């Protein structure tokens, strides 16, 4: 079946005229191209319209080395491998063809700009192959063009996978060209799109390097649940003068002398943390303080913290109801007797504040609204005063 063409007859005619004079040592044909669509269908990219697969003379396709996704223009060993592959196997039907779009920088209407296949282009030149199969797209914007040219490199057979440094190059160029905003959220979203083939750990490395290269301060801080560095749960606890989380490494007598326990929890109703808190508060007769935080980026910290308090109160009510159910006669909760309390939240909105000599907007232990609060081990639970009543009702 003939594919539907989204390219004008005039353009196809121009390609066909030159195609008849092209050197073609690989023996490529229209029939082979149609067969390749069955064995290796085109990739459907977000933000792009697929215009079709075409047999095109390579002289119509421009490769802009400044837009090469890789950190180095051409990998010599890989090009040699491709040349050897073409000479011994020929055209591989399990290989995705290069992708391209019409060249907006050319006055003619039949010229294309390639987004992938930079190394293959070099190899094809070496073997004298003047024409090749290309998947042609129309992109909604430069943003989606960059996304596509990087996602097209998430492949296997003799092709070269993107290195993490290649993605750093792409992101920094996108920031410099105003394709994406120069802030951490935009960089995070862009990296997650173009480097979806990489692990979360590698993507984190790409993002952090881009922040540094672009001189960007991330506006949101996340905390690692393991380790003792600055942006870890244990690091925050130590830096802010709290005792170590939980009970490990201390006797019951030392914990009682300490006067209270601390746990960091990403959810206000975290069952395992609540169970430990109830157990130790009952056994040691000392209060247990929660310090809340979000374990992932959230757009609205105030909303997250308000929801956290609702979750905390719901779980608190569950335990209170449990206690009432097993007693002969119920009674009202005496807040001073309830030893599980919310101390506050970790600082996570850390955009530099120009009014405070560039210090992070949130510092130390903060309340729902990001205001720094002083911890008082004998004080009251934050849920008794926040979020403000008039705001809840509005």
Number of Cβ within 10 Å of residue 163's Cβ equals: 14
pLDDT for res 160? 53
| Rounded-to-integer distance, Cα 376 and Cα 341, Å | 11
Tell me how far apart the 2 most distant CA atoms of the chain are, in Å. 98
* Alpha helix ranges (H) inside the chain: 9-19, 30-39, 76-88, 118-127, 142-151, 164-176, 184-194, 200-213, 233-239, 252-258, 271-284, 301-325, 389-393
The pTM is what?
0.53
Q: Which of 183, 157, 102, 107 is nearest to 135 (CA)?
A: 102
CA 348/CA 363 separation, integer angstroms: 9
Report which DSSP code applies to 182: S
> How many Cβ atoms are within 10 Å of 276's Cβ, its own excluded?
17
pLDDT at residue number 156: 42
Q: What is the DSSP letter of 25?
A: T
Q: Please count the other Cβ atoms lying within 10 Å of the Cβ belonging to residue 266.
A: 16
- For residue 220, the tally of other CB atoms under 10 A from its CB is 17
**pLDDT for 218:** 61
pLDDT on residue 1: 36
Residues 276, 298 contacting (CB under 8 angstroms): no
Give me the torsion for CA of 83, 87, 91, 97, rounded to 10°.
10
Query: Which residues of the chain carry a pLDDT beneath 70?
Result: 1-5, 68-75, 153-161, 215-219, 326-337, 353-360, 389-394
pLDDT per position as a tens digit, 58-86: 999 999 877 765 544 456 777 888 899 89
- How many residues does this entry show for the chain? 394
Cα–Cα distance for residue pair 41/56, rounded to 1 Å: 18
> Cis (ω within 30 of 0) for the bond into 387?
yes
Contacts 24+ apart (CB under 8 A), 34-37: 34/3, 35/93, 36/91, 36/93, 36/97, 36/133, 37/3
Determine the angle formed by the axes of helices 164-176 and 142-151, rounding to 10 degrees.
Answer: 170
CA distance 270 to 208: 30
- Interval 317-350: pLDDT, tens: 988 887 777 665 656 666 666 778 888 998 888 7
Count the alpha carbons within 13 Å of 267 in the hemisphere toward its beta carbon: 9
Helix 301-325 to helix 271-284 angle, to the nearest 10 degrees?
Answer: 50
């Amino acid at each position: 079946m003939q594919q539907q063409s989204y390219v004008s007859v005039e353009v196809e005619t121009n390609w066909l005229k030159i195609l008849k004079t092209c050197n073609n040592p690989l023996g490529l044909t229209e029939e082979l191209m149609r067969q390749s669509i069955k064995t290796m269908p085109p990739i459907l990219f977000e933000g792009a319209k697929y215009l079709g697969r075409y047999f095109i003379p390579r002289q119509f396709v421009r490769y802009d080395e400044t837009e090469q996704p890789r950190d180095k223009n051409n990998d010599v060993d890989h090009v040699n491998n491709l040349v050897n592959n073409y000479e011994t196997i020929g055209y591989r039907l399990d290989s995705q063809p290069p992708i391209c779009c019409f060249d907006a920088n050319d006055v003619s209407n039949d010229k294309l700009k390639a987004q992938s296949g930079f190394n293959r282009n070099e190899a094809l030149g070496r073997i004298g192959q003047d024409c090749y199969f290309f998947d042609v797209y129309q992109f909604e914007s430069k943003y989606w063009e960059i996304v596509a040219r990087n996602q097209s490199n998430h492949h296997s057979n003799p092709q070269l996978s993107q290195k993490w440094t290649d993605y750093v190059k792409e992101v920094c160029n996108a920031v410099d060209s105003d394709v994406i905003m120069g802030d951490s959220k935009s960089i995070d979203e862009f990296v997650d799109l173009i480097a979806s083939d990489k692990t979360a750990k590698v993507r984190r490395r790409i993002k952090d390097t881009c922040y540094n290269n672009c001189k960007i301060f991330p506006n949101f801080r996340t905390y690692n649940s393991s380790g003792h560095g600055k942006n870890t749960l244990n690091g925050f606890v130590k830096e802010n003068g709290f005792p170590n989380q939980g009970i490990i490494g201390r006797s019951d007598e030392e914990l009682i002398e300490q006067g209270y326990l601390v746990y960091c929890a990403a959810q206000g109703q975290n069952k395992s943390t609540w169970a430990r808190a109830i157990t130790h508060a009952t056994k040691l007769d000392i209060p247990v303080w929660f310090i809340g935080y979000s374990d992932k980026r959230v757009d609205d910290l105030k909303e997250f913290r308000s929801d956290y308090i609702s979750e905390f109160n719901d779980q608190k009510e569950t335990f209170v109801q449990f206690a009432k159910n097993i007693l002969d006669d119920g009674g009202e909760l005496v807040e001073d007797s309830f030893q599980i309390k919310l101390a506050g939240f970790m600082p996570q909105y850390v955009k530099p504040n120009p009014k405070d000599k560039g210090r992070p907007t949130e510092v130390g232990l903060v309340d729902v609204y990001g205001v720094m609060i002083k911890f008082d081990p004998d004080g009251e639970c934050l849920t008794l005063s926040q979020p403000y009543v008039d705001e809840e009702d509005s």
